[in-house]
Amino acid sequence: MIVDFEPAPKKVLIIEDEANIARIIKLELEHEGYKVETAENGIIGLQKFSNEQWNLLLLDIMMPKLNGMEVLRRIRDSGDITPIILLTAKDSIHDKVIGLDHGANDYITKPFQIEELLARIRACFRINQMMEKNEDEQIVTVADLKVDIKTRIVTRNSKNIELTPREFDLLVYLIQHQNQVLNREQILTRVWGFDYYGETNVVDVYIRYLRKKVDDSFHSPLIHTVRGIGYVIKE
């Protein structure tokens, strides 16, 4: 007899101090088949996060007792790479960049449509799945640039390079397609996800971030612009 086992539902933790928002998100995610729990402040949320394994964290930034940025920092400092999407009422580029630099995988600005949040969650899971499929090819290289996909350690000429999760995903995608010119739409689809809602120039912004870290301090640039088409990484 063959028994089919359904995969366990993905577990999502929502840390959000506005009870109505947390309740609505929880109901919508449960309707989509996720297993969901909530926490009303950063201290309780961090305790819940530490006590169980989660597939995704939805994290509000502005909270009493312990704000979202501090929760994010503590999680990433512990070495945990669980995908984290920030829920923020702040829509300035500066605040978003700070969140991403602290290790967030994505952000969404309040107020938002639940369809957009669901799309971003799916995109996070797709990217993680893509990374897991490539674990057999654990170390990828271009010239003296080495990327360990499993440990997420990046070095060039034996010098450690610190990348945000999104910068890391972008770099891995470029390396896995080295010598191949990739247009912005290809990069958006594979790194940000097919359902990404936002400006396409986000690719240009993150290429610029990568170049500062991967190329600017070294003699030979690896990331190249192909005018009118897109970008390529090559020796």
d(CA 113, CA 118): 9
Other beta carbons within 10 Å of 78: 10
Tokens in use for 25?
């998100």
Q: Are 155 and 161 in contact (CB under 8 A)?
A: yes
Has residue 111 been placed in a domain?
A: yes
C-beta separation of 25 from 58 below 8 A: yes
Give which of 70, 83, 12 is closest to 41, Cα–Cα: 70
**Structural domain tally of the chain?**
2
Look at residues 125, 133, 120, 81 and name the one whose alpha carbon lies nearest to residue 104: 81
74: DSSP letter: H
Q: How do beta strands 230-233 and 223-226 pair?
A: antiparallel
For residue 65, give its domain range: 11-132
Same domain, 121 and 144: no
Q: At which of 132, 155, 188 does a domain end? A: 132
Residue 117: predicted pLDDT: 92
pLDDT tens, residue by residue, 65-103 = 899 999 999 998 888 889 999 998 866 667 777 888 888
- Give the C-alpha separation, 87 to 68, whole Å: 9
Q: Which of 55-64, 131-140, 190-199 has the lowest mean pLDDT?
A: 131-140
| pLDDT higher than 70, residue 124 | yes
Query: CA–CA separation, 60 vs 15, rounded Å?
Result: 6
CATH number of the domain within which 17 lies:
3.40.50.2300
Q: Which residue has the higher pLDDT, 63 or 127?
A: 63
pTM of the model: 0.62
163 and 171 in contact (C-beta within 8 Å)? yes
